[in-house]
């Protein structure tokens, strides 16, 4: 006993809690993750100063003003519409009571499973001049037909994006309304506020940070959107980047456009941080949630019309149309090698989810072990990727890889080995890394929220019982965060399956996935054929929405 004690004192003079000059391995790993994320962003930013006079000049003269105008109009329109749909729906389902309220409170989240580009081609196909609606009108009520507004218009893109993106505002605003404690509302009513004034003077202002948070997510998605605007031939920065690269073959011009988009994205990100800080103060403190206001018959009818209409247009009609097309195209298409597309999609998503989750675990455990400014900055940097549009990230990754390839070629030349062609760029191995950068925050949030439930005193309790190090992780941490890890992996997996521009621009030539196939088919206007991979993605996308609904129902019960 005596000997054993002194031995342990020699080996472990400082215990576990002091790094004592030793290099902390979790810090090294976390720094590695942050470096992988920040390099593509830096490479894109540096290209602002690159010299590409002829192409850049051409872009600036002919395109830039138009791109900025298009982006501004699109963003403003989508924000206004999503705010209208999202806030109204959230108010009705979170603060009012009427038959069917529970159904709408989760059903209105379902459109989240439809990627914007699927929503876009469904409505283009449905409402186009040659589509079923316009054809029907021309044949049966020819007087009305000319007055049908064209879907391929600015209004059309805005409407389609708003239908796909309003659930973000709905989700956050509903959470904001639901968290308003009963006490505050009772206090306001005791001071004599009518219901209308209660909404505008108390409820809406208190939910404002949440609504703002939802709108910021919408803005991020709008700026990042590639697939939907491509279907509409509506030029924004993302499509311009794609065209500069694959049309003009100028990666420099593409990165210069991308650098402008990075600046916008970072601006949005700053606004988001601000709104999150504000949300914390606005959360109700007393536990009881507000009593819902019962609606009168007429009011309930109005609520049904609005919510039912929104749900049909954003989910039911697109789903019916998709399945109708699948029914038509199924017979000729099913032998055409969708197995390979699906296989590629699943393999990429699997590898990407694995890598992303590993990085998320590194960050979460490092953040638990090390508290301090440096670690806080590291994790903030590592989670930047979700604000970056896929097109920008693709450009950045390619630039980083070109740099590494150059260095590698130089190194091999010194060693007397000549290698031809790129060595990393354009290989499949790079793609999971790109996905990791983009979706790390999704995986991290799931893992770290479950790890947060393991209190520091649980670690200490295990140590007083003689359990430490790896067996502590195995016996306490892993069993408790398993659920979070599975959720995180599923969310990342499906996000990767749906990701279009990043896959399109980093894949090796001919390496198609479901999302890439949809891009190719829709750019040729083949809606029926595109519906088959689209249905696969939407069905997969229902899984994370299901998880979200389950979590929401559990907290709002």
Partner 1 sequence: MMYLNVKAITKHFGATCVAQGVGFSLARGEIGALLGPSGCGKTTLLRMIAGFEEPDSGSIHLQSRPLWEAGQGLAAEARQIGMVFQDYALFPHLTVWENIAFGMKDVSRREIKSTIDELLSVTGLAGVEKRYPHELSGGQQQRVALSRAIAPKPRCLLMDEPFSNLDVTLRESLSAEVREIIKRFGITALMVTHNQHEAFAMADRIGVMMAGNILQWDTPEGLYHKPETLSVARFIGEGSLLAGTLTSEGTLDCGLGAFSVAENIGREAVQKVHVFVRPEAVQIATSGKQAVARLEKSCFRGPGRSCLFQLPSGEWVRAAAETRCCLREGDAYGLSVSRDGVSLFSEHEEERFAGFSE
Q: In the complex, which residues of this chain contact partner 1 (CB under 8 A)?
A: 2, 5, 8-9, 12-18, 453, 455, 457-458, 460-468, 475-476, 479-480
Which residue bears the tokens 């999609």? 345
Nearer Cβ to partner 1 (70/450): 450
Minimum distance from CB of 465 to partner 1 (Å)? 3
Nearer Cβ to partner 1 (18/373): 18
Nearer Cβ to partner 1 (4/417): 4
Nearer Cβ to partner 1 (9/141): 9
Minimum distance from CB of 302 to partner 1 (Å)? 43
**Alpha-helix runs per DSSP H in 284-337:** 297-311, 317-333
Give the C-alpha separation, 396 to 382, whole Å: 15
Q: How many CA atoms lie within 13 A of 547 on its CB side?
A: 16
Nearer Cβ to partner 1 (153/482): 482
282 class by beta-carbon count within 10 Å (0-12 exposed, 13-18 middle, 19+ buried): middle
Nearer Cβ to partner 1 (183/463): 463
Cross-strand bridge partners of residue 96: 293
* Exposure string over 513-551, b if 16+ CB within 10 A, otherwise e: bbbbbbbebbeeebbbbbbbbbbbbbebbbebbebbbee
Nearer Cβ to partner 1 (206/364): 364
Minimum distance from CB of 3 to partner 1 (Å)? 11
Asked whether 51 and 253 are in contact (CB, 8 A), the reply is no
* Strand, helix or coil for residue 331: helix
Minimum distance from CB of 468 to partner 1 (Å)? 4
Nearer Cβ to partner 1 (154/482): 482
Minimum distance from CB of 1 to partner 1 (Å)? 8
Minimum distance from CB of 467 to partner 1 (Å)? 7
170 to 163, 173, 278, 355, 528: CA distances (angstroms): 11, 5, 18, 31, 31
286 to 91, 97, 182, 499: CA distances (angstroms): 20, 21, 8, 41
Nearer Cβ to partner 1 (276/453): 453
Minimum distance from CB of 469 to partner 1 (Å)? 8
Minimum distance from CB of 481 to partner 1 (Å)? 10
Give the C-alpha separation, 422 to 411, whole Å: 13
Minimum distance from CB of 416 to partner 1 (Å)? 53
Token code pair at residue 543: 């899984």
Minimum distance from CB of 371 to partner 1 (Å)? 14
Nearer Cβ to partner 1 (277/475): 475
Give the C-alpha separation, 385 to 445, whole Å: 13
Asked whether 89 and 207 are in contact (CB, 8 A), the reply is no
Give the C-alpha separation, 241 to 230, whole Å: 12
DSSP string, 454-498: S-HHHHHHHHHTT--HHHHIIIIIHHHHHHHHHHHHHHHHHHHHH
Asked whether 38 and 262 are in contact (CB, 8 A), the reply is no
Cross-strand bridge partners of residue 289: 181
Token code pair at residue 278: 């504000």
> How many CB atoms within 10 Å of residue 94?
24
Minimum distance from CB of 483 to partner 1 (Å)? 10
Nearer Cβ to partner 1 (447/502): 447
Nearer Cβ to partner 1 (183/368): 368
The strand pair at 96-97 and 293-294 is best described as parallel
Minimum distance from CB of 408 to partner 1 (Å)? 45
| 389 Cβ contact list (under 8 Å, min separation 6) | 223, 224, 225, 226, 237, 238, 261, 265, 501
Minimum distance from CB of 485 to partner 1 (Å)? 14
Token code pair at residue 364: 């979460």
Nearer Cβ to partner 1 (102/453): 453
Give the C-alpha separation, 363 to 386, whole Å: 16
Asked whether 293 and 303 are in contact (CB, 8 A), the reply is no
Minimum distance from CB of 10 to partner 1 (Å)? 9
Going 308 to 312 to 314 to 315, the CA torsion angle's sign is positive
Nearer Cβ to partner 1 (293/370): 370
């Amino acid at each position: 006993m005596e000997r054993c004690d002194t031995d342990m004192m020699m080996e472990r003079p400082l215990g576990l809690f002091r790094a004592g000059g030793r290099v902390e391995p979790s810090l090294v790993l976390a720094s590695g993750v942050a470096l992988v994320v920040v390099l593509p962003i830096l490479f894109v930013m540096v290209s602002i100063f690159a010299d590409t006079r002829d192409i850049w000049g051409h872009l600036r003269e002919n395109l830039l003003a138009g791109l900025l105008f298009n982006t501004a109009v699109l963003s403003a329109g989508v924000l206004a519409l999503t705010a209208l749909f999202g806030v109204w729906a959230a108010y009705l389902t979170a603060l009012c009571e009427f038959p069917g309220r529970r159904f709408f409170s989760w059903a209105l989240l379902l459109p989240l499973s439809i990627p914007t580009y699927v929503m876009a081609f469904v409505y283009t196909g449905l409402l186009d001049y040659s589509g079923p609606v316009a054809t029907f009108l021309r044949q049966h009520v020819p007087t009305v037909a000319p007055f049908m507004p064209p879907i391929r218009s600015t209004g059309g893109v805005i409407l389609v994006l708003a239908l796909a993106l309003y659930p973000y505002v709905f989700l956050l605003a509903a959470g904001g309304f639901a968290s308003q404690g009963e006490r505050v509302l009772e206090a306001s009513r005791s001071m004599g506020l009518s219901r209308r004034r209660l909404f505008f003077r108390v409820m809406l202002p208190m939910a404002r940070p949440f609504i703002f948070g939802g709108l910021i997510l919408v803005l991020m998605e709008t700026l990042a959107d590639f697939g939907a605007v491509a279907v509409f031939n509506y030029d924004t920065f993302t499509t311009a980047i794609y065209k500069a690269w694959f049309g003009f073959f100028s990666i420099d011009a593409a990165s210069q456009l991308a650098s402008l988009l990075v600046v916008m994205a970072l601006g949005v990100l700053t606004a988001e941080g601000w709104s999150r800080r504000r949300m914390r103060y606005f959360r109700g403190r007393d536990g009881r949630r507000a009593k819902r206001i019962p609606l009168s018959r007429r009011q309930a009818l109005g609520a049904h019309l609005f919510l039912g209409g929104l749900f049909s247009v954003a989910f039911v009609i697109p789903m019916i149309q998709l399945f109708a097309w699948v029914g038509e195209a199924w017979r000729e298409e099913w032998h055409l090698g969708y197995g390979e597309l699906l296989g590629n999609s699943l393999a990429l998503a699997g590898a990407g989810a694995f890598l992303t989750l590993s990085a998320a675990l590194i960050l979460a455990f490092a953040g638990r072990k090390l508290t301090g400014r440096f670690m806080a900055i590291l994790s903030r940097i590592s989670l930047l990727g979700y604000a970056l549009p896929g097109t920008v990230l693709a450009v950045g990754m390619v630039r980083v890889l070109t740099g590494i390839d150059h260095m590698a070629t130089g190194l091999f030349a010194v060693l007397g080995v000549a290698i031809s062609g790129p060595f990393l760029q354009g290989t499949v191995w790079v793609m999971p890394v790109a996905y990791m950068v983009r979706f790390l925050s999704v995986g991290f949030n799931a893992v770290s929220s479950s790890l947060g439930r393991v209190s520091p005193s649980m670690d200490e309790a295990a140590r007083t019982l003689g359990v430490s190090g790896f067996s502590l992780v195995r016996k306490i941490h892993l069993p408790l965060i398993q659920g979070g890890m599975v959720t995180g992996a599923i969310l990342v997996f499906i996000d990767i399956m749906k990701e279009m521009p990043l896959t399109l621009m980093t894949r090796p030539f001919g390496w198609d996935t479901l999302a890439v196939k949809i891009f190719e088919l829709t750019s040729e206007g083949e809606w029926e054929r595109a519906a088959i991979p689209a249905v696969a993605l939407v069905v997969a996308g229902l899984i994370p929405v299901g998880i979200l609904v389950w979590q929401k129902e559990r907290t709002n019960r």
